[in-house]
Amino acid sequence: MNSASLFTRAQQLIPGGVNSPVRAFRSVGGAPFFTKSAKGAILTTADGRELIDFVCTWGPAIHGHNHPRIKAAIAAALENGTSFGTPNPYEVEMAELIVKFFPSIQKVRLCSSGTEATMSAIRLARGFKKRDKIIKFAGCYHGHSDSLLIKAGSGALTHGNPDSAGVPASFARETVVLPYNDPSALEAAFAANPGQIACVILEPYCGNVGFIQPDAGYLHSVRQLTARHGALLIFDEVMTGFRLARGGVQELEKITPDLTCLGKIIGGGLPVGAFGGRADIMDHLAPLGPVYQAGTLSGNPLAMAAGIESLKMLDELDPYARLDALGRQVRDAVSAAAKAKGLAVQAPQAGSMFSFFFTPTPVRDLATAMTSDAKLFARFFHACLDGGVYLPPSAYEACFLSTAHEGAAVDRACEVMTKAIQSL
């Protein structure tokens, strides 16, 4: 049983042979490998290859794969059952931890995915404000719900289909799409839609069009404009929450959004999502208010146990300075190799998130991200993969690090990526 035979079987039964489009290798060429196990910073494929992993299950594995403390927490919870359909003690502890680390969150509702969190937050904002229109930003991906799959990033962008089929035109008309890092465009949108905008949702640091940071003062402008026009501000911190700081980007930038969406790390590798914010807004959710949201597996005890242990470790170990040092090591190695080669490569990095754009243009939004040479990235990707380093199979995704990369793994990865640049 190897990756080739598994992919052949999968394509007969699963559309494209994958259960999430971003896992496919269509934008970089070739066929995806299948993973049979993972530990620390290493994936072991069905073909017996060991790969240094810079995908980290798309963000959750901040402590590395298969961490013994998280495994033990799941095992302990498993002894009591897999799902109850009733409230359970883990839900309360998770809510307490989230509220502790995110001062903007006074109340929180748990769910089962980041998509569910953003979809529900949008519905809540519309119900609370009694307005229909929302604003999002080109290249920001907030899951695959209809209202948000307009000019989206992540897999939709990679596969050249940012406006998904199946999204009604009437839904799209209620979503205003603007360029990221352009406060004047946001001001103009409010002026063109007076009293109609329920909320503005954005990834405060973009991770689904590659990794892009805001210009100085941009997020503060967004906060001021939403407050002035009576719209809610939603930070989608599904990726960045607990990864760049315990309190996410809002802690780093000292901004208080009205609602925040979380996921990934709070599940410790198991499916999870959450959204929370001001108590007066959250109390509009059923059963207290008129905005309906529900989920059979919301607050699943296994996911809660894994996530609680993951968050406790972050609190105890405070690894953020170490993770930033690892991120800078990778960024600097690739940047130095590119400079020596005469290649124009942008390598934005913050903490344990980074990207490589093969363009001379500084990347600050979707338009500049799309100037990156995707074909050159594909060659870089395969050179890294041949050397034993796995990057996201897309020119438009962020890379992730874990504490397990410290030492030999990151040193080896820097060597491989340097050689990959030299081979271009």
What is the residue-wise DSSP string for 104-173?
Answer: T-SEEEEES-HHHHHHHHHHHHHHHHT--EEEEETT----S-GGG-SS--HHHHHTT-SS-TT--HHHHH
Query: Among residues 316, 335, 363, which one ends one of the domains?
Result: 316
Q: Which domain holds residue 312?
A: 68-316
The pLDDT of residue 31: 96
Query: Among residues 264, 294, 316, which one ends one of the domains?
Result: 316
287 preceded by a cis bond (ω within 30 of 0): yes
Q: pTM to 2 decimals?
A: 0.95
Cα-flanking dihedrals φ and ψ of residue 221, to 5°?
-65, -40
Secondary structure (3-state) at 389: strand
Least Cα distance to 276 among 256, 290, 262 occurs for: 262
Shared-domain flag, residues 181 and 325: no
Shared-domain flag, residues 245 and 347: no
Number of domains comprising the chain: 2
Where in the sequence numbering do the catalytic residues fall? 141, 236, 264
Tokens encoding 390: 């796995």
The pLDDT of residue 172: 76
Shared-domain flag, residues 141 and 221: yes
Shared-domain flag, residues 192 and 333: no
| Cα 237 from Cα 245, distance rounded (Å) | 11
The pLDDT of residue 63: 98
**39-55 core/surface letters (b: 16 or more CB in 10 A; e: else):** ebbbbebbeeeebbbbb
CA dist 337 → 96, 131, 237 (Å): 46, 51, 32
The pLDDT of residue 171: 75
Shared-domain flag, residues 297 and 183: yes
The pLDDT of residue 161: 45
Bridge partners (DSSP) of residue 202 are 235
Shared-domain flag, residues 224 and 88: yes
**306-315 core/surface letters (b: 16 or more CB in 10 A; e: else):** bbbbbbebbe
**Which parts of the chain sit beneath pLDDT 70?**
149-164
Q: Give the domain CATH number at 386.
A: 3.90.1150.10
Q: Give the domain CATH number at 150.
A: 3.40.640.10
The pLDDT of residue 149: 66
Shared-domain flag, residues 260 and 353: no
The pLDDT of residue 173: 81
Shared-domain flag, residues 39 and 79: no
The pLDDT of residue 330: 98
Shared-domain flag, residues 293 and 156: yes
Shared-domain flag, residues 386 and 291: no
* Helix (H) or strand (E) run with residue 236 in it: strand 232-236
Shared-domain flag, residues 23 and 96: no
Shared-domain flag, residues 246 and 380: no
Query: Among residues 316, 333, 356, which one ends one of the domains?
Result: 316
Task: Tell me 215's DSSP state.
Answer: P
